[in-house]
Amino acid sequence: MITLVKLEIFKLVRRARSYLGFAALSALAGLVVLGLKEGPPPFEQSINQGFMTFGNILNGGFTAWFLLKLMMALFLPLFACVVIGDMVSGEANDGTLRTMLSRPVGRGKILFSKFIVSVLYVIALTFFIGVAGYMLGAIFLGRGALVTFQEGTALGAQGIYIYPEAEGLLRLLGAYAYASVAVLSVASIAFFISAFVTNSLGAIGGAMVLYIASNLLGIIKYFEPIKDYLFTTHMGNFGLFFINEIPKGDLLKSLGILFAYILAFLAAGLFVFHRKDVLS
């Protein structure tokens, strides 16, 4: 299995599209830092009413938090799907899948090794945006206490949490780890679709359509009874890490639902892949 995983990693690092997400997210992080540095302070009004503030709210920690909030809405799931949706379908499209399956290795092992590499990729991509954001923010904006806004908008925030730098970093670490699981829940849909299509665009598009549809269902009142079971409802719960007393029950419940989606799509992918008639 380790050999298979190594092989998949080798294939992943040799593919140009693997770096697309890293490059795009780096560029976006740079633009966000530029906007924060040169633009008007985005959240000052929320804090200043009734309080005296000193120093700079904008720093590496804030950038990492802000980027996570921004990127989780679309870019992280999209760039994860671009690669994960290509894991199997890309090989089918290239005509290498049949060759690979002709070797004396079980289909389950092959697919599972691809899934393990997908997990590693999602973790790397998610943490990359955090590290890039923190470092760019620290270089151009400085370091310091972490300020986050959990509810409302910049002009009407209700949940403002401010932590010392060290604690802020630990909370960011937790939030990014959670975000990895959340992104993986979308990516696992792309992985599943990738197992039975030969065009990676179908897998990427299919996963993104489901992601957007799930988001829409979550805001339509009629679907309120199923809202709790939609994976998109729980994707944004990385914010729980920034509440002073992290609601562990809610966090575990959300993680449970996200993992259930991941495992369900992995199982479905294995099922489909086992029965798949590989023609290319």
Residues of this chain that bind other proteins (CB under 8 A): 36, 40-41, 43-44, 46-59, 142-145, 147, 151-153, 156-165, 167, 219, 236, 243-244
Residue burial 120-132, b: 16+ Cβ < 10 Å; e: rest:
ebbbebbebbbeb
With respect to other proteins, which residue has the nearer C-beta, 39 or 104? 39
d(CA 257, CA 264): 10
d(CA 76, CA 68): 9
Least distance (Å) between residue 172 CB and other proteins: 15
In the numeric block, which tokens belong to residue 169?
């970093």
Least distance (Å) between residue 259 CB and other proteins: 22
Least distance (Å) between residue 143 CB and other proteins: 6
42, 141, 160, 164, 257 from 47: Cα distances, Å: 11, 19, 8, 16, 35
Least distance (Å) between residue 171 CB and other proteins: 10
Q: What are phi and psi of 161, to 5 degrees?
A: -125, 130
With respect to other proteins, which residue has the nearer C-beta, 58 or 132? 58
With respect to other proteins, which residue has the nearer C-beta, 56 or 93? 56
Least distance (Å) between residue 176 CB and other proteins: 19
208 Cβ contact partners less than 8 Å away, ≥ 6 residues apart: 77, 78, 81, 186
DSSP-derived letter for residue 152 is: S
With respect to other proteins, which residue has the nearer C-beta, 103 or 221? 221
SS3 146: strand
Least distance (Å) between residue 54 CB and other proteins: 4
Least distance (Å) between residue 257 CB and other proteins: 17
With respect to other proteins, which residue has the nearer C-beta, 153 or 280? 153
Whether 173 contacts 241, CB under 8 Å: no
Least distance (Å) between residue 112 CB and other proteins: 35
DSSP-derived letter for residue 40 is: -
d(CA 210, CA 173): 28
Whether 28 contacts 118, CB under 8 Å: no
With respect to other proteins, which residue has the nearer C-beta, 48 or 99? 48
Cα dihedral 28, 34, 40, 43, rounded to 10, equals: 50
With respect to other proteins, which residue has the nearer C-beta, 216 or 263? 216
d(CA 91, CA 175): 33
With respect to other proteins, which residue has the nearer C-beta, 156 or 247? 156
